[in-house]
């Protein structure tokens, strides 16, 4: 049994609390913290938790009864608790992105290197989606040869909140592609460019606050090129696509199978409305993987996203933001990967 300290009781946090409390079986939330104490109190009441409400992330991390920490607070509130967990030697799962940029994420990598231990696991949930897992297997088997190019679609029915802005398209949305493409290609990024398409009049946040759809052009060190359409006001549902072209074949992310309905002179399949439904299994699987490795005293490995992966995604996102604001193609270079992440 793993005793969890939980930080951040917003929408994603509540989704994870439900998961840990009701679906995992080998974890208890024993301590909880949110900057807004009322949100923590509400989570305790709604999910019937037997958890101490802490006054700070630090108090929670250092509570002797807490074995490991799960964090779903705002992106800009991740860094200090991550560093505190590393200092305290406690395994930590953080929602994506690991921090707000490459410079902050590098501090996390440096802290782990100094500690000589990997404790951080980043919630890049797509790595646990069955469709992406199958793609990864096919790519790694080399049955379609080396990857050459591809195109992806990251569509949300509507912008996540009324505060969701132009930069969020990169930091909250495209950050998933920044991770999953690096993972699938097993190659580093060379350069990126972002272009904004014609504005959608149905964008509820207004084009002056939220410029999208955004098209990302991503180049890899070995020469492959992938484009990603990020459209966060597509209206019709949550639609994630990924089609990659190899030397002797292609591989595409399967749609989630739903019944074919024939009715009223139409044939149709339904589609998820949001990521909570689309990636439910993946979120469960990644949390189970975290809890199991903590129970076994293991460091993150295999398909788990480490602090290094979190850093790589942030560096790519930084370059995308630079392109978004200043235009043009932006080159990406990384320091040497520390031996800890070999």
Measured from the CB atom, is 149 or 160 closer to ligand ISE?
A: 160
- The residue number with the shortest CB distance to ligand ISE is 173
Measured from the CB atom, is 108 or 232 closer to ligand ISE?
A: 232
Closest C-alpha among 252, 247, 249 to residue 148: 247
Measured from the CB atom, is 84 or 230 closer to ligand ISE?
A: 230
Confirm if 6 and 13 have CB atoms less than 8 A apart. Answer: yes
- Which residues make beta-bridge pairs with 27? 2
Closest distance of CB 156 from ligand ISE, Å: 5
Closest distance of CB 62 from ligand ISE, Å: 29
Closest distance of CB 173 from ligand ISE, Å: 3
Side-chain half-sphere CA neighbours of 78 within 13 A: 26
Measured from the CB atom, is 171 or 323 closer to ligand ISE?
A: 171
Measured from the CB atom, is 156 or 203 closer to ligand ISE?
A: 156
Measured from the CB atom, is 67 or 286 closer to ligand ISE?
A: 286
Measured distance CA(228)–CA(216) in Å, rounded:
5
Question: Is cis: bond before 97, omega within 30 of 0?
Answer: yes
Token pair of 198, please?
């014609």
Closest distance of CB 262 from ligand ISE, Å: 30
How many other CB atoms are there within 10 angstroms of residue 25's CB atom?
Answer: 9
Closest distance of CB 151 from ligand ISE, Å: 17
Token pair of 188, please?
């580093």
Closest C-alpha among 145, 106, 83, 117 to residue 312: 106
How many other CB atoms are there within 10 angstroms of residue 28's CB atom?
Answer: 17
Closest distance of CB 290 from ligand ISE, Å: 17
CA-based end-to-end distance of the chain: 30
Closest distance of CB 310 from ligand ISE, Å: 14
- Which residues make beta-bridge pairs with 262? 267
Side-chain half-sphere CA neighbours of 80 within 13 A: 10
Measured from the CB atom, is 163 or 329 closer to ligand ISE?
A: 163
Closest distance of CB 200 from ligand ISE, Å: 15
Q: Where on the chain is the footprint of ligand ISE (CB under 6 A)? A: 156, 160, 172-173, 176, 232, 275
Measured distance CA(77)–CA(34) in Å, rounded:
11
Helices (H) and strands (E) in the chain, counts: 11, 15
Which residue in this structure is represented by tokens 């200092």?
87
Measured from the CB atom, is 33 or 275 closer to ligand ISE?
A: 275
Confirm if 202 and 233 have CB atoms less than 8 A apart. Answer: yes
């Amino acid at each position: 049994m793993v005793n969890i300290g939980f930080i951040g009781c917003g929408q994603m946090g509540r989704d994870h609390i439900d998961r840990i409390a009701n679906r995992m079986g080998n974890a208890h939330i024993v301590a909880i913290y949110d900057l807004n104490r009322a949100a923590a109190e509400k989570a305790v009441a709604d999910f019937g938790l037997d958890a101490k409400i802490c006054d700070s992330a630090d108090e929670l991390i250092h509570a002797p009864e807490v074995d490991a920490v799960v964090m779903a607070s705002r992106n800009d509130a991740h860094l200090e608790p991550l560093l505190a967990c590393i200092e305290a030697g406690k395994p930590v799962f953080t929602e994506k992105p690991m921090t707000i940029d490459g410079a902050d994420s590098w501090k996390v990598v440096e802290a782990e290197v100094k500690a000589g231990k990997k404790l951080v696991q980043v919630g890049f949930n797509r790595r646990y989606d069955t469709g992406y897992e199958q793609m990864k297997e096919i790519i790694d088997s080399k049955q379609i040869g080396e990857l050459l190019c591809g195109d992806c679609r990251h569509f949300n029915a509507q912008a996540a909140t009324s505060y969701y802005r132009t930069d969020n398209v990169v930091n909250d949305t495209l950050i998933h592609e920044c991770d999953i493409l690096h993972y699938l290609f097993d190659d580093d990024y060379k350069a990126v460019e972002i272009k904004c398409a014609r504005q959608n009049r149905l964008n509820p946040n207004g084009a002056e606050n939220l410029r999208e759809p955004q098209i990302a052009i991503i180049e890899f060190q070995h020469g492959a090129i992938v484009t990603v359409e990020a459209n966060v006001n597509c209206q019709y549902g949550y639609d994630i696509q990924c089609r990659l072209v190899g030397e002797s074949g292609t591989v595409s992310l399967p749609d989630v199978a739903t019944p074919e309905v024939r009715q009223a002179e139409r044939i149709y399949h339904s589609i998820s409305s949001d990521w909570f439904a689309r990636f439910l299994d993946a979120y469960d699987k990644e949390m189970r993987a975290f809890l199991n490795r903590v129970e076994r005293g293991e460091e993150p490995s295999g398909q788990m996203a480490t602090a290094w992966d979190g850093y790589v995604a942030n560096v790519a996102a930084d370059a995308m933001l630079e392109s978004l604001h200043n235009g043009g193609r932006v080159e990406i270079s990384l320091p040497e990967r520390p031996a800890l992440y070999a």
